[in-house]
């Protein structure tokens, strides 16, 4: 408990609204460009990487709350967004977001957790539907005679893994571009400081 | 009408929240779907009185309609059942699937439209203030208000970046790869510049005693009125009545 | 003891390889106006951040020496007491808004709300500051929608409304035209007359000559020269530190090179006129 509180410095708190706004604006941009993904948790992942899992979780949660103002079904997926923040943050603290291959592993784990949480939500709350074009995929699997759980999990595997892995790579590239001086002020920024310059 | 409008809009945020909660929970308590389908109509009615018809309808349609349709399509065709209503090649619509969809979508529409209504009749700043009065940390409400303030600014910033890129010849239309390629160069500078402002923001807030442990005051005055008590009592009576009717009669 | 005492202060940023402040010793007397001058990168802003306690509170790094505010180390101060004791306005006006207020009036009230001041008192104080700075015409506007210069005035108003004893201004006029700058200096002067201690980082030397009591010249993180404004700004070699002298001083210095010796070297317009008149009458020239 004390550890969680320690993460919420004024700097870290100020990252949250920016992470949230990035999620919202990136989500809108994806829609504008008609890309069939979400890419609306990049802000959450960046915040989780530099400020830790709990600050990341809040960023994800608040983002879904704000998405929910314009699309209430998004509120049901708040646990997915929060879990993404927590998983990225925990792995980042273990140094799992410092190299491309480590980022790839982190991406797989985040996608796995997202699939595990999003699937039951979609099946139980929304009868398997998501209201997006990817429902076609669910319908195809259903038509082949599989039951609803298999269909939804297949759809989530396709969508979530591409979405989450792409998102974490974007997040990683952006954190890499942050200045050392800026990173030094963040709770967990030291993982990304360019060692060559420091020594 | 004007009187009713101010009556609704001037209710205390938590009173509005209780109305929303009532509209969300009662459809889940009551059997059948008739009442549940009445809730969105009731929400629309309240939105109309509050002068928010267009926004309410827009959001309900955009946010909820597509999912309702998809639920009907998926469940009508693929829900296990034997009562076949209509068949085309290997696909058939079953009564059981329709029944399930009607039940499920009635609840989704009820809960969803109650939430939409809440955010349409409640100002976020009022909500934030009422949370502070309830003892929620001003840091938490700051995050919420600040995020909502940053979004429009960031949107404008993004449009400026994209305009600049278009003049430099970055394609934003075409196949998926081209569109994805437009995504990153637009987003990266936006994200970096937004984050880089946080250290000065911290200095600003610290200079304005934001982290002071003293009890804060606020120019934002929120008061509960007699209307709030009336609405709350009414909701409570209705709720108790429904509980008794549902579980004891 | 009242005022600010800086003893043997050195500081290095966590990611830097060199010290940005070297062994600074400085006494800041209560109720006086100090101007920090020097070329960019000389340590002025860093020194302001150390005095206000943002270094090492926010910005880590190696710090040695001490900064005493009223005899107590700045690191031992409670953050809310410190916010009330020292106001801080910096260069960039775009990040100096709270980001949660819908009107300029509410924005200026934010600091007082955080200090728990009674609502009626807040309203009165905010109104006073708005008239003092002549920004009544924007008081109902959204702070996000202001111009840079307007934001800068609002940032200043938001701090001075809290009535701190010490005011630190780090280039508060960067976005303002000469007239706007003059207005800000007049507002600062009013604060000084109310007995506030002023620390100002500024490049506009004419205004410093006019208003500041003391000038501190910083270069490469060291104090190269400090003293009363009229002494520092009348020395020809002050220019060696990248400081431009006022045109009045330069004129006098030129005259001296041609053996036209005035009684003293003026630094301001009014003093220059006085000195020149005296000199001319001594020379027998009719003014």
Residue-wise pLDDT for B213-226, tens only, equals: 888 999 998 999 99
Interchain CB distance below 8 Å, B184 and A170: yes
Number of Cβ within 10 Å of residue B247's Cβ equals 8
Strand (E) or helix (H) holding A141: helix A135-143
B133 in the same domain as B105: no
Q: In CATH, what number does C4-245 get?
A: 3.40.50.300
B227 in the same domain as B170: no
Report the b/e string of C157-186 with b at 16+ CB within 10 A: bbbbbbbbbbbbbbbbbbbbeeeebbbbbe
Report the b/e string of B60-73 with b at 16+ CB within 10 A: beebbebbbebbbb
Hey, of A7, A14, A28, A150, which one would you mutate to test binding to chain B, going by the most B CBs within 10 A of its CB? A14
Interchain CB distance below 8 Å, C114 and B145: no
In Å, how far is B71's CA from the nearest CA of chain A? 5
Distance CA B63, CA A131 (A): 9
B109 in the same domain as B49: yes
DSSP string, C216-256: EEEETTEEEEEEEHHHHTT-GGGGGGTPPPPHHHHHHHHHH
Interchain CB distance below 8 Å, C88 and B207: yes
- Collect all residues of chain A within an 8 Å Cβ-Cβ radius of residue C59: 185
Which residues lie closer than 8 Å to C283 by C-beta, 6 or more apart?
none
Which residues lie closer than 8 Å to B2 by C-beta, 6 or more apart?
none
For chain A, domain boundaries: 2-193
Helix %, strand %, coil % for chain B, to 5?
Answer: 75, 5, 20
Distance CA A15, CA C98 (A): 14
B201 in the same domain as B180: yes
Instruction: Check if the beta carbon of residue B173 is closer than 8 Å to that of residue B183.
Output: no
Q: Which of residues 25-84 of A touch C (CB under 8 A)?
A: none
Cα torsion B215, B216, B217, B221 to 10°: value is: -110
Is A197's Cβ below 8 Å from some Cβ in C? yes
List the one residue out of B115, B118, B141, B145 whose CA is nearest residue B13.
B118
Mean pLDDT over the full length of chain B: 92
Q: Which token pair is A167?
A: 């998102």
Which residues lie closer than 8 Å to A167 by C-beta, 6 or more apart?
A39, A41, A42, A45, A107
For residue A45, the Cα-to-chain-centroid distance in whole angstroms is 5
List the one residue out of B242, B249, B232 whose CA is nearest residue B14.
B232
Distance CA C214, CA C221 (A): 18
B83 in the same domain as B34: yes
Number of Cβ within 10 Å of residue C148's Cβ equals 12
Distance CA B101, CA B93 (A): 12
Asked if the structure places residue B215 within a domain, the reply is no
* Closest chain A residue by Cα to residue B58: A70
CATH of A2-193, one of 1.10.1760, 1.10.3470, 2.30.29, 3.40.50: 1.10.1760
Distance CA C254, CA C276 (A): 13
B168 in the same domain as B87: no
Please report, for residues A64, A79, B126, the alpha-carbon distance to residue A58 in angstroms, rounded to integers and kept in the order given. 10, 10, 21
- State yes or no: cis peptide before C56, omega within 30 of 0: yes
Distance CA A172, CA A192 (A): 10
Interchain CB distance below 8 Å, C115 and B142: no
Is B125's Cβ below 8 Å from some Cβ in C? yes
Residue-wise pLDDT for A137-160, tens only, equals: 999 999 888 999 999 999 999 999
What pLDDT does A74 receive? 94
B104 in the same domain as B147: no
What pLDDT does A31 receive? 85
The torsion angles phi and psi of B194, rounded to 5 degrees, stand at -65, -45
The torsion angles phi and psi of B181, rounded to 5 degrees, stand at -65, -25
- Collect all residues of chain A within an 8 Å Cβ-Cβ radius of residue C99: 17
> Residues spanned by CATH 3.40.50.300 within chain C?
4-245
Please report, for residues B15, B21, B23, C143, the alpha-carbon distance to residue B236 in angstroms, rounded to integers and kept in the order given. 11, 11, 12, 42
DSSP string, B82-146: S-EEEEETTEEEEHHHHHHHHHHHHHHHHHHHHHHHHHHHS-HHHHHHHHHHTT--HHHHHHHHH
Q: Which of residues 4-63 of C touch A (CB under 8 A)?
A: 13-15, 58-60
Which residues lie closer than 8 Å to A69 by C-beta, 6 or more apart?
B119
Distance CA C24, CA C7 (A): 7
- Collect all residues of chain B within an 8 Å Cβ-Cβ radius of residue A39: 183
Interchain CB distance below 8 Å, A10 and C99: no
Distance CA B183, CA A28 (A): 11
Q: Count how many domains chain B has.
A: 2
Number of Cβ within 10 Å of residue B202's Cβ equals 24
B135 in the same domain as B76: no
In Å, how far is C17's CA from the nearest CA of chain A? 8
Number of Cβ within 10 Å of residue A100's Cβ equals 9
Write the residue in C54, C110, C114 that is nearest to B203 by C-beta. C54
- Planar angle of CA B86, B87, B88, nearest 5 degrees: 135
* Closest chain A residue by Cα to residue B56: A70
Distance CA C79, CA C86 (A): 10
Distance CA B80, CA A80 (A): 29
Higher pLDDT, B214 or B127: B127
Per-residue model confidence as pLDDT tens for chain C (287 residues)? 579 999 999 999 888 788 899 999 999 999 999 999 999 989 999 999 999 999 888 888 899 999 999 999 999 998 888 999 999 999 999 999 999 999 999 999 999 999 999 999 999 999 999 999 999 999 999 999 999 999 999 999 999 999 999 999 999 998 889 988 998 998 999 999 999 999 999 999 999 999 999 999 999 999 999 999 999 999 999 999 989 899 999 999 999 999 989 989 999 999 999 999 999 888 887 65
B133 in the same domain as B117: no
Q: Which residues of chain A have pLDDT under 50?
A: 196-199
Residue-wise pLDDT for B20-37, tens only, equals: 999 999 999 988 899 999
Q: Which token pair is B82?
A: 């034997």
Q: Which token pair is B226?
A: 């007699």
ipTM score assigned to the predicted complex: 0.91
**Which residue range(s) make up the domain with B31?**
2-122+223-247
Instruction: Check if the beta carbon of residue C202 is closer than 8 Å to that of residue C37.
Output: yes
B118 in the same domain as B13: yes
B181 in the same domain as B108: no
* Closest chain C residue by Cα to residue B220: C106
Write the residue in A68, A70, A127 that is nearest to B104 by C-beta. A127
Asked if the structure places residue B103 within a domain, the reply is yes
What pLDDT does A60 receive? 98
Interchain CB distance below 8 Å, A198 and C58: no
B17 in the same domain as B136: no
- Collect all residues of chain C within an 8 Å Cβ-Cβ radius of residue B209: 79-80, 83-84, 111, 114-115, 162
């Amino acid at each position: 408990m004390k550890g969680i509180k320690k993460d919420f410095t004024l700097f870290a708190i100020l990252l949250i609204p920016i992470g949230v706004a990035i999620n919202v604006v990136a989500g809108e941009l994806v829609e504008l460009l008609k890309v069939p993904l979400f890419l609306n948790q990049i802000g959450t992942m960046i915040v989780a990487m530099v400020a830790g899992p709990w600050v990341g979780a809040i960023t994800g949660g608040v983002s879904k709350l704000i998405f929910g103002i314009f699309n209430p079904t998004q509120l049901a997926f708040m646990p997915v967004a929060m879990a993404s923040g927590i998983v990225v943050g925990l792995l980042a603290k273990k140094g799992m977001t410092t190299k491309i291959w480590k980022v790839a592993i982190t991406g797989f784990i985040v996608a796995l957790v997202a699939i595990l949480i999003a699937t039951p939500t979609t099946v139980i709350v929304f009868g398997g539907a998501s209201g997006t074009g990817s429902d076609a995929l669910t319908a195809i699997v259903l038509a082949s005679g599989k039951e609803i759980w298999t269909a939804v999990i297949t759809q989530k595997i396709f969508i979530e893994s591409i979405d989450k892995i792409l998102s974490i790579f974007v997040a990683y590239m952006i954190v890499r571009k942050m200045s050392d001086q800026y990173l030094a002020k963040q709770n967990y920024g030291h993982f990304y400081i360019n060692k060559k310059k420091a020594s | 009408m004007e009187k009713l409008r101010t009556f609704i809009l001037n209710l205390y945020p938590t009173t509005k929240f209780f109305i929303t909660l009532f509209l969300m929970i009662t459809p889940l308590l009551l059997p059948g779907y008739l009442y549940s389908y009445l809730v969105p109509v009731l929400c629309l009615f309240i939105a109309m009185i509050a002068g928010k018809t267009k926004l309410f309808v827009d959001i309900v349609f955009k946010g909820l309609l597509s999912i309702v349709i998809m639920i009907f399509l998926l469940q009508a065709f693929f829900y296990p059942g034997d009562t076949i209503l209509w068949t085309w090649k290997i696909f058939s619509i079953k009564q059981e699937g329709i029944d399930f969809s009607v039940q499920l979508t009635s609840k989704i529409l009820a809960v969803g439209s109650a939430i939409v209504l809440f955010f349409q009749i409640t100002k976020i700043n009022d909500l934030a203030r009422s949370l502070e009065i309830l003892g929620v940390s001003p840091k938490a409400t700051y995050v919420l208000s600040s995020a909502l303030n940053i979004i429009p600014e960031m949107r404008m910033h993004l449009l400026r970046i994209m305009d600049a890129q278009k003049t430099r010849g970055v394609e934003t239309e075409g196949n998926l790869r081209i569109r994805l390629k437009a995504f990153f160069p637009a987003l990266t500078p936006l994200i970096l510049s937004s984050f880089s402002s946080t250290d000065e923001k911290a200095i600003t807030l610290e200079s304005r005693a934001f982290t002071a442990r003293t009890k804060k005051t606020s120019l934002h005055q929120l008061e509960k009125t007699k209307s709030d008590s009336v609405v709350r009592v009414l909701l409570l009576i209705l709720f108790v009545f429904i509980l008794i009717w549902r579980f004891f009669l | 003891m009242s005022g600010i005492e800086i003893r043997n202060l050195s500081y290095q940023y966590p990611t830097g390889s060199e010290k940005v402040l070297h062994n600074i010793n400085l006494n800041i007397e209560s109720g006086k106006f100090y101007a920090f001058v020097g070329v960019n990168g000389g340590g002025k802003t860093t020194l302001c951040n150390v005095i206000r306690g943002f270094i090492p509170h926010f910005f880590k790094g190696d710090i040695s020496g001490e900064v005493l505010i009223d005899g107590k180390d700045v690191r031992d101060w409670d953050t809310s007491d410190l916010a009330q004791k020292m106001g801080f306005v910096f260069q960039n006006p775009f990040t100096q808004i709270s980001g949660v207020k819908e009107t300029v009036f509410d924005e200026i009230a934010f600091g007082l709300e955080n200090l728990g001041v009674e609502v009626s008192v807040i309203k009165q104080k905010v109104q006073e500051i708005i008239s003092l700075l002549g920004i009544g015409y924007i008081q109902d506007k959204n702070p996000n929608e202001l111009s840079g210069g307007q934001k800068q005035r609002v940032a200043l108003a938001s701090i001075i409304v809290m009535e701190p004893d010490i005011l630190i201004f780090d280039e508060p006029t960067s976005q303002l035209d000469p007239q706007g700058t003059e207005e800000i200096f007049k507002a600062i002067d009013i604060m000084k007359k109310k007995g506030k201690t002023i620390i100002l980082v500024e490049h506009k030397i004419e205004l410093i000559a006019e208003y500041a009591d003391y000038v501190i010249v910083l270069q490469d993180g060291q104090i190269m020269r400090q003293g009363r404004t009229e002494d520092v700004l009348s020395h020809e070699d002050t220019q060696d530190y990248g400081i431009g002298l006022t045109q009045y001083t330069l004129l006098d210095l030129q005259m001296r090179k041609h053996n036209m010796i005035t009684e003293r070297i003026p630094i301001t317009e009014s003093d220059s006129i006085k000195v020149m008149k005296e000199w001319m009458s001594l020379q027998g020239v009719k003014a």
